[in-house]
Amino acid sequence: MWLIARLLISRLETRLSDDRLRFLLKPTKPDGERFCTNDFNLLLQQFIGYYNKSNVTIFDLSGVPFEVLSVTVSLLSRIIFDFSFHNSKLKHAEGEENEVPILLVCEEAHNYVPASDSAMYKASRKSIERIAKEGRKYGLSLMVVSQRPSEVSPTIFSQCSNFIALRLTNKADQNYIKGLLPENTSSASEMLPSLGQGEALVVGDASIMPSLVQLPRPIPEPKSASVDVHTAWNENWNEPNFVNVIKRWRKESSED
């Protein structure tokens, strides 16, 4: 029993001293002060985009350790859902309609709402699935983006009204998308492996019939292109800044 207690304490101390978890355990404002309960109003405005009147709020979770990714996604999605729920109820009590539509976009959704029933993703799956099933009546819509649709929770896809499918080369993903389409449009999925860059198959309430569309390129374009290895290998030796990389990895300041 004593050994188990020591192991538990050791794990807790490791988590508390992990700088990667500072955003969760020791949240601070840009001026260095700690957040407190009275700051929730400010945080909520920032989440919804009313703090600086922005139409888009980005939650960058790329650096969040996988141990707390599900909890973080669950917390963010629950906050947004609860705001939409209570805001709608207040408006309805006053005889008005909710005029604050919110679209929650889940990028790389297979990383935190997978089809797997693993307990690791239980929190995030429960929150996102609740939005998919109940969010629309409170003005909260959901967009699920994934390169592996066959690995995303089927409960979420069953609530989707529209599908935008880009090029898919994996047979399992092709068959999965085909199974989601109405019977009279399932043959349209045969073009999925041959779609060009920016081309997409649109099926659902937004389109009278399955349509092949050309999506405009984003401005500015994301820095997500593959490295040109043929050019890089013919250039002089390029030395990465290992010190700064490791400091960023550990969430340390590069000026330390």
Domain boundaries along the sequence of the chain: 40-160, 162-213
What is the structure's pLDDT at 20?
A: 67
* Per-residue model confidence (pLDDT) at position 77: 92
pLDDT of residue 82: 92
pTM of structure: 0.76
**CATH dotted code for 40-160:** 3.40.50.300
Q: Pick the closest to residue 188 from 165, 157, 205 (CA basis).
A: 165
Calpha distance 11→14 (Å, rounded) = 5
Q: Which pLDDT score, from 0 to 100, does residue 2 have?
A: 64
pLDDT of residue 30: 66
Going by C-alpha positions, the residue among 56, 51, 57, 54 that lies closest to residue 39 is 51
Report CA-CA distances (Å) from 164 to 3, 129, 210, 228, 246: 53, 19, 10, 29, 38
* Largest interatomic CA distance in the chain: 69
For residue 221, the model assigns a pLDDT of 80
- Alpha-helical segments (H) within the chain: 2-16, 22-25, 40-48, 66-93, 122-134, 154-157, 171-180, 229-232, 242-249
pLDDT along the chain (256 residues), means of 10: 72 70 68 75 83 84 80 90 92 86 90 84 90 91 89 87 86 81 70 84 81 85 79 84 83 57
Closest C-alpha among 183, 153, 147 to residue 165: 147
Q: Decide: 202 and 161 in contact? Cβ < 8 Å.
A: no
- Give pLDDT, residue 80: 92
According to the model, what pLDDT value does residue 130 have? Answer: 93
**DSSP label at residue 222:** P
Question: What letter does residue 134 receive in the DSSP assignment?
Answer: H
Which tokens is 208 given?
């009278």
For residue 239, what pLDDT is reported?
A: 82
Q: Residue 137 phi/psi, 5° resolution?
A: -75, -10
User: Cα angle at 165 between 162 and 166, to 5 degrees?
Assistant: 150
